[in-house]
Structure 1
Amino acid sequence: MDDTVYTTRPDGQGRLEKEMAVYDVLEKLEIPYMRLDHEVTPSIEACHDVDSRLGIEICKNLFLCNSQKTQFYLLLMPGMKKFKTKDLSSQLQVARLSFANEIYMEEFLNITPGSVSIMGLMNDRDQRVRLVIDREVAESEYMGCHPCINTSSLKVKTKDILEKFLPFTGHDYTVVEL
């Protein structure tokens, strides 16, 4: 792992177009960030070293849907908090939430499993995905997320995500207590 914490975009060499598009949007919206490049982090547990280097707790990002596969949700919650489908379903008044198929994840967010991130909402131009944020995450000063790929992590002010990034994407959000 490169121990350097950057405040600028990578040069683009060897980077995916969807990752570089995240940096383009952050710069356009004048959202400062800190970036750490690292090995693949396929799970929240694998993010522990990244968390401590950036001084944050990476969010657990879950891509969910209703049983008819007609409503899709991106849930952001603290990484170490247990997810109970029943708790979220009742707050959203949706029966039987489950994990959505990766086909929808790629189609709506242009993200693959293990790289799910709020940044993917910039690719959801039709607002097919509803953002749901646990209160702890919504009230934290900083948010940790991937730039649409799980070989880098970003530290961004939550206020900038909620007040600049989300309006840019056209997404609103619902705060829940899990």
Structure 2
Amino acid sequence: MDASSDFQDTLPLSSDSLLAQMDDWGLTYRLHTHMPLRTVEDAKSVEDQFVVSGENTLCLKNLYLRDRKKRNYLVSLEQSRQIDLKQLGNQLGVGGLSFGSPERLLQHLGIRPGAVSPLAMINGVKSNVFFLMDATAQRADVINMHPLVNDRTVAMPRPDLMAFFDRVGCEVTWLP
């Protein structure tokens, strides 16, 4: 199975259910549908469709990581930012950061590879996943991310994303 909405009903929480929950909470976003985006390069090929003139828009890349003690991390970065996992581990005071398996990704964040997103913290908080976000997001007007599937993107105003985190009980650690 891939990470598209064709298989969303096999996820613990479907993309449609997530969007309905966000609507119920009064959160605003613009929903875009597109081909499945599997890489940053794929995302860059369509992101111009999502950007509104005059908005400071942040497009993310997201990493699901584990440390030697089997703690789970979701790291959301500006899509062009380079990251050194050893340096990040040192900064966090943990050792041996590596990419988590697709099975653990589904178990802890309720998503498949290619659809990793801050919105997956709706599941991640229940599994004690640590969430780290690029500090540039604090200056963005709008943040683009997948709503648990990779053939949809939501463009969400930053205050609404922060309200989402509050609603799900997600603490954000900002990465300078």
- TM normalised by structure 1 equals 0.85
- Whose RCO is larger (CA < 8 A, sep 6+)? 2
Q: Does 1:40 align with 2:32?
A: no
Within-5 A mapping of 1:85-100: 85-100=85-100
Query: CA-atom RMSD, angstroms?
Result: 1.7
Instruction: Please state whether the residue corresponding to 1:67 is helix, strand or coil.
Output: coil
Give the match for residue 165 of structure 1: 164
Give the match for residue 16 of structure 1: 8
- TM normalised by structure 2 equals 0.86
How much does 1:14 deviate?
A: 5.7
User: Aligned letter for 1:31?
Assistant: L
Unaligned runs of at least 5 residues, structure 2? 52-56
Instruction: Please state whether the residue corresponding to 1:113 is helix, strand or coil.
Output: coil
Count the aligned residue pairs: 163
Give the match for residue 3 of structure 1: none
Unaligned runs of at least 5 residues, structure 1? 1-12
Give the match for residue 6 of structure 1: none
Within-5 A mapping of 1:9-158: 16-17=8-9, 18-55=14-51, 56-69=57-70, 71-158=71-158
**Quick one: percent identity of the two aligned structures?**
21
Deviations 1:129-178 (A, max 9, x none): 1110111123312111001000011100122111x11111111010112x
- Distance in 2, matches of 1:167 and 1:33, equals 16
- Distance in 2, matches of 1:75 and 1:125, equals 14
Larger helix percent = 2
Instruction: Please state whether the residue corresponding to 2:126 is helix, strand or coil.
Output: coil
